[in-house]
Structure 1
């Protein structure tokens, strides 16, 4: 049995990786933590074999946290950014996964930490479906049902999440939020807009009609949008 912990400041991202771990009989999740500080405590309380860790987090980054440890378990970085890969492998990361992480890619990574063929057989159960996302809004962690999201706007370092009854503003880059959303439900149609595909009414010219709102389609995103609705 391989003992592991998950470290990521995004609740949805932690939930996804924990759900993957629970499907493999050879892995055991000792806990999931939103900060490196909490993970540090866990490392001293338990025998941890593998740590799945995000890179960009409040306080200390995942990279700097691993560098600060005199000794550390095997490390699999899970991040929305590709630019840290070289640095990650320089500190002997076992693997480097870019969000959104599919189960098949996750499985390849855990096989590198010693999971044998029998232990890596998926338990016969459906993948946990993610139905909610947690966003930091006005110093609170707000739970938002994914099906209620109409569209999301990127405004520099912030996002505006539009639902039928409320608009939530959160300090987060649009790309980071996009990496946490299930791609079967959401699609980016513009450099600053992500929409809920299930709410599309029609597409006409360079606009998509969704919940009686016309939203622009970026030229570089148009082909992918049409492909996703075929």
Structure 2
């Protein structure tokens, strides 16, 4: 499970980092003092969980959540327990930690997040395979690998879009980057992987894949152009 911390108080940052270091299955990918710094990171990277302080210097944590498209799971942190009721009104918030909080209370919040996220078991590669079966809603669907047009991540769900169907289920895009062949499928955004066989055109920071307009993330563009043999 990947996470970031958005917290402007140094002591609180240290406590969270110390607690997270004790958990081998949770990877801390960044610590930010302000929401605007974290926003830039989230625009180009996908994480499973965010530890978010309510009182931030530029924008409140509650208001910041409302600006995120497809927000990850959120664990709120604050010194003010009065905020708990209003913050729980937001569906993406899984727990609320009142400072100072113990490791036991922190671990309870982590376990709540894991239940919400349902981090998937890594799946084997399908490189070189003409088809595979995908278990969605207790039904095994046969998917021809070359028929996959693109994949889209939304919250904790993945949509696999083929030439004739769309399947949506709980999974992570990171899981699929390990599953698909590198030479055929390219991640172009934190929320999208495309099949280069269906690329029609690129216009600015958007790529058109079989009639669908897909954004290109800044950190993915160079790799995309390289794999499409395009020179800037």
| TM-score, scaled relative to structure 2 | 0.48
Length-normalised TM-score, structure 1: 0.48
